[in-house]
Amino acid sequence: MAHYLCDRGRRHGRVRHRRLLPRQPPTEPATHRALLRSLITLWRQEPILRLHAFLGAMGFAAFNSFWTPLVFHYARLFPGDASRMVGITGFIGVTGALAAPLSGRPSERIGARGINGAFLGLVVAAFLVLWRAGDFLAGVTVGAALLDAGVQGSHVSNQTRIYALGAAIRNRLTALYMTAYFAGGALGSFVGTLAWQEARWPAVCASGAVFALAALTRLLASRR
């Protein structure tokens, strides 16, 4: 009986919403297939998009190359208490993400390129801290906060730059950028786990630093 009443309520709600909500015609007349093809064209035509998609991918790769094997590192440092320690580090370290909103306006004044370079440099510094003080909870937590700040700040700087390409294509820009971003994250998780298997914590820190340095080098080599 309860299931029947819930189902009737859902159907009634759908009917009411259809009647009350305004009809909005699609803003893009192209077909779904044409829109997908336009993603390839947009990727080829926009070097700024390709640049910042690469920076985002490398930043998220660095991020995941640290967080994925962290539980293995803590299992060695704190046997039987690794999950709780990861939670503590994540809770405190996430404060670094507060730097993300701070990067938007400076990017507009100083330039997204300079701000992005500073945040990527912060990611490199974070891995130096993690390498030197990785055997201590405080050291890892400080490094995690720096890493979060650098990656999130760079991410916002990337979006600031690509969205300036045009409001009309923002959805497609987001689709391409975030596809590259999460592909980089998957790569970072794989490399971080492999680094831990091969040479433990120093290799994890080295792999993350390499991702960040790859992004920083690419940014410095660009003229955009």
Q: What is the pLDDT of residue 87?
A: 83
pLDDT at 110: 63
pLDDT value for 86:
84
pLDDT of residue 158: 95
Return d(Cα 118, Cα 159) in angstroms, integer.
16
CA distance readout (Å), 166 to 172, 173, 217: 10, 9, 27
**pLDDT for position 84:** 82
Residues of the chain predicted below pLDDT 70: 1-32, 96-97, 99-110, 224
Residue 91 pLDDT: 79
pLDDT computed for residue 9 by the predictor? 55
For the chain, give every domain's residue range: 46-221
Instruction: List the structure tokens of 184.
Output: 């980089």
Task: Determine what percent of the chain is predicted with pLDDT higher than 70.
Answer: 79
C-alpha distances in Å from residue 168, one per residue of 7, 27, 165? 39, 10, 9
Q: Which residue has the tokens 């370290």?
A: 93
Homologous superfamily (CATH) for 46-221? MFS general substrate transporter like domains (1.20.1250.20)
Pair 56, 180: CB distance under 8 Å = yes
